[in-house]
Structure 1
Amino acid sequence: MTTILSPVRALVLPLTRAVLYTRWLHLLSGAVPAAVCSLVYPGLSGLTTVGALWLLVLPVPFLVGWAMVPGARLAEGLQARLLLLSGTHARGGPRGAAVEPVAVARIAAAPAASWGDRWLTALWLVLRLEAGCVTVLLCMWLPGLTGALLGAATGDPAGGAGDGLPVPRPGGHQGWYALLAPLPLVALAAYVVGAGALMTAVATRLLGPSAGERLAALEERTERLLEHNRLARELHDSIGHALTVAVVQAGAARAAGSAEFTDRALSAIEETGRQALEDLERVLRLLREDPAERPADRPGIVDADRLLESARAAGSSLDARVTGDLAALPGPVSREGYRILQEALANVLRHAGPVPVTVRVAADDRTGALELDIRNPLPGDGAQATLRGAGSGSGLRGIRERAALLGGEAATGPHEGEWRVLVRLPADV
């Protein structure tokens, strides 16, 4: 029973989908150039079988000429997406989507960028013309044949067959012809299903993105993913640093039991939280693609003092030394250096607590390179093990990734009884 129903299901299910009817419309619209030509010559009244055959050829030069216009490929691609593909992805998907649906990439919607694209568009237009003419003929002939069969079944051979259609007209009164009457309509439905699927497959080959377009789309997607990863690191570094400082300050204030220390701790938490809110708002503007947000608005290594003050307020004893002209550093080096220093100090507070920290920030005035050296003691085996485990965490991994993206290098781990983060960022980025 399942074997018998499978072909029926294969034919009936497509009839319930809206894309079948949009594909049918796409097939019919392919005959529009032939219909226009028939109005000019030989005219509908003088149209014969031979003249109808000429309509398969007469529009071809005009279609080829139209295909040489770069915008023709864009128009055909948009029409094919809209009518041949199903679902919201046929219209390009949501704006700014992280990953574009696969079906959209099957048919390009861009002007022709080469002569190869133009000739493929010309071939597509010619195939649309021929398929459209065949579709129009079948849409007229097969229902006419059904009408002729019904007329023969009711004793009126001319009934329902239409005028001027080359359909067979069975003679006599044959009631069993009524059983054959649905077959032409079934054949028409099968043709529309098959031809629609075939035209969709052809469109993906002739109107699909070229190698250059696929490469450009891949580069755009890669840039978008890299930007999302960068924003994720920004949030991790900024919010993670703020939360770490707040937790350490709150714990220290409770342990100290001093109103004066508690007041300083609350002030530090307030300042750190305000900075974190500013960073969060900036990242949200980037996610919303706010044109007012510029890379120069992001904090740079020249703002390192506020990180050092935040760490001091959390109870760490900082020995900080800054050398060189930090303001002369390239923008990417300055901004990434700030985030690296922020994450390194947050890691110290998170894993070692308010311990003495040595910070060296050096800008090479000759080469423009930046070196960061952050060290803190390993007070015991437990802390050392904790810090070693932190080397595989997202924070230190983010430090290494930031340095690698700028062509620099980062080393993290125990060094001469201390935990050390050493980062070198070149100027030529």
Structure 2
Amino acid sequence: MDGVPHPPRSLPRPLRPVLRAVTYTRWLHLFIAATLALLGAFIWGQDDLQPVVGYAVLALGPVPLLAVAAAVPATRVLETMQARLLLFPGPHGPEERQEPRLAHTPAVAWTDRGRVFVWLVLRMWVGLLAAVVGIQGLFLTVALTSAHHWHSFETEVVPLPGSWQGWYPPLVPLVLAALLAAGWAFGALIAVLAPRLLGPSAAERLAALEERTERLLEHNRLARELHDTIGHALTVAVVQAGAARAAGSPEFTERALGAIEDTGREALEDLERVLRLLRQEGAPPSRRPGLAEAGRLVASARGAGAAISAEIEGPLESVPGPVSREGYRIVQECLTNVLRHAGPVPVRVRIAASATGLELHVRNELPPAAPAPGPGGSGLRGIRERAALLGGEAVVGPADGEWRVRVTLPIR
């Protein structure tokens, strides 16, 4: 990938980590964490301390500073960036794997800051252990190599007898292999700890899931709006064009073309609005029509040849915006279904608003040759979904030779 050589597949599995860049970037990540403690050791000095006490001071001295750093919310972002870059293979490494899920936001809750504090301390301790093992392993390797050349070997790491000088050269590869194995193990350990301590908390995962659900619901709502708007416009255009051809009257054809033009223009405006919302995350929603504009739906259906009697009661302007907008779409879908399935038949529309609820009632005759719409249509399903989301109820079906849609929506 991108000209970066991969470890040969023919290489034995135990030797593959030697050629993986992530093995050494994890070492670097741990050594960076150990730098603070090592600097403190040079500043404070530990020559007069017992080894156990010196190592305790080395490991515990920087802990208060790490606690202060963990209290800063942005620390988690910085640690996450380092972990993503140095701990996990990706586009920057010789192999590409999906990295574990790490948090992308500052740690706001104190529980998240506590997890960051634990991460900082464990990272420093593992880094110190890796640094001690690495430095001592390098000293031992140099000492073994020097003993081979100058026939002398003195080290406090592994005091070997002088009679073993002939075995020093074969021990060098073993020490290097052990050093690489230890470094790989420390890197694997810190890579396991990172997603557990730097990953999003349960509350953050729940918030992300809710946000994703809201986004999916919004996209589903926009898809329903496109279905209602475009379906209504195409249905009106088809019916108007067919009626104009059958009438053979220039005056009627002129009215039909005007109705098709108005309906098409409204559909294009709705289409542009929906596409703009889909392209721009977080864009403010543009204006959507409400029940106060239901008159244009009635006029559009009348222009298609349907004999509509409309009855509007109550102050539609006082109906809350969500209820009014969804009610408009419900009436639009009802009239579209009438034109699509029954044709230009008599239709009665009743819209009644009160202080507690909104009632929508659409009835049309069922011609003998036209079968009633099935219960599984997407339009009828959309009507039921809209009503259910608003806490209302939709009753749809044939009765007494009519197709009836009755929707009740609470206003409070």
Structure 1-normalised TM-score? 0.80
- 1:7-406 aligned at under 5 Å gives the runs 8-9=12-13, 11-12=15-16, 14=17, 19-42=22-45, 51=54, 54-87=57-90, 103-104=100-101, 106-107=102-103, 109-114=105-110, 116-151=111-146, 155-156=149-150, 166=157, 180-289=171-280, 293-294=284-285, 297-364=287-354, 366-367=355-356, 369-380=357-368, 383-385=370-372, 387=373, 389=374, 391-406=375-390
SS at match of 1:142: helix
> Structure 1 11/47 Cα, relative in aligned 2: closer, same or farther at 3 Å?
farther
Identity across matched positions, percent: 58
> Structure 1 18/329 Cα, relative in aligned 2: closer, same or farther at 3 Å?
farther
SS at match of 1:384: coil
Q: Distance in 1 between matches of 2:45 and 2:180?
A: 31
Q: Distance in 2 between matches of 1:417 and 1:57?
A: 86
SS at match of 2:133: helix
RMSD (CA atoms): 3.4
What displacement does 1:311 show?
1.3
1:253-274 Cα distance to aligned partner (Å, 9 max, x none): 3344443333322222221111
Q: Distance in 1 between matches of 2:347 and 2:164?
A: 106
Q: Distance in 2 between matches of 1:16 and 1:237?
A: 59
Q: Distance in 2 between matches of 1:66 and 1:103?
A: 24
Amino acid at match of 2:239: V
Amino acid at match of 2:32: S
| Unmatched tracts of structure 2, length 5 or more | 1-8, 92-97
1:367-414 Cα distance to aligned partner (Å, 9 max, x none): 2x211111122112x5224x1x2x212211111111111111111111
1:411 aligns with 2:395: yes
CA contact (8 A) 2:140 2:155 kept: no
What displacement does 1:28 show?
1.7
Q: Distance in 2 between matches of 1:172 and 1:377?
A: 111
SS at match of 1:197: helix
CA contact (8 A) 2:107 2:113 kept: no
Q: Distance in 2 between matches of 1:246 and 1:303?
A: 20
Amino acid at match of 1:32: T
SS at match of 2:297: helix
Q: Distance in 1 between matches of 2:183 and 2:191?
A: 12
CA contact (8 A) 2:352 2:359 kept: yes
CA contact (8 A) 2:347 2:363 kept: yes
> Structure 1 265/111 Cα, relative in aligned 2: closer, same or farther at 3 Å?
same
Q: Distance in 2 between matches of 1:371 and 1:21?
A: 70
Q: Distance in 2 between matches of 1:25 and 1:85?
A: 13
SS at match of 1:383: coil
Amino acid at match of 1:397: R
Greater shift, 328-337 or 51-60, is seen at 51-60
> Structure 1 287/11 Cα, relative in aligned 2: closer, same or farther at 3 Å?
farther
Amino acid at match of 2:13: R
1:113-153 Cα distance to aligned partner (Å, 9 max, x none): 12x33433322221111111122223333344444455566
1:19-73 Cα distance to aligned partner (Å, 9 max, x none): 4444333222111211331342218x99996646632222123223333444444
SS at match of 2:309: strand
> Structure 1 241/147 Cα, relative in aligned 2: closer, same or farther at 3 Å?
farther
What displacement does 1:424 show?
0.9
1:181-231 Cα distance to aligned partner (Å, 9 max, x none): 444443344334333332232223333333322332222222222112111
Q: Distance in 1 between matches of 2:221 and 2:166?
A: 76
CA contact (8 A) 2:30 2:123 kept: yes
Greater shift, 168-177 or 418-427, is seen at 168-177
Structure 2-normalised TM-score? 0.83
SS at match of 2:264: helix
CA contact (8 A) 1:316 1:356 kept: yes
Q: Distance in 1 between matches of 2:305 and 2:268?
A: 22
SS at match of 2:370: helix
Q: Distance in 1 between matches of 2:49 and 2:268?
A: 76
CA contact (8 A) 1:22 1:84 kept: yes
Q: Distance in 2 between matches of 1:251 and 1:16?
A: 73
Q: Distance in 2 between matches of 1:248 and 1:17?
A: 68
Q: Distance in 2 between matches of 1:221 and 1:292?
A: 16
Amino acid at match of 2:28: L
Q: Distance in 2 between matches of 1:393 and 1:192?
A: 63
SS at match of 1:316: coil
Amino acid at match of 1:58: G
1:422 aligns with 2:390: no
> Structure 1 274/200 Cα, relative in aligned 2: closer, same or farther at 3 Å?
same
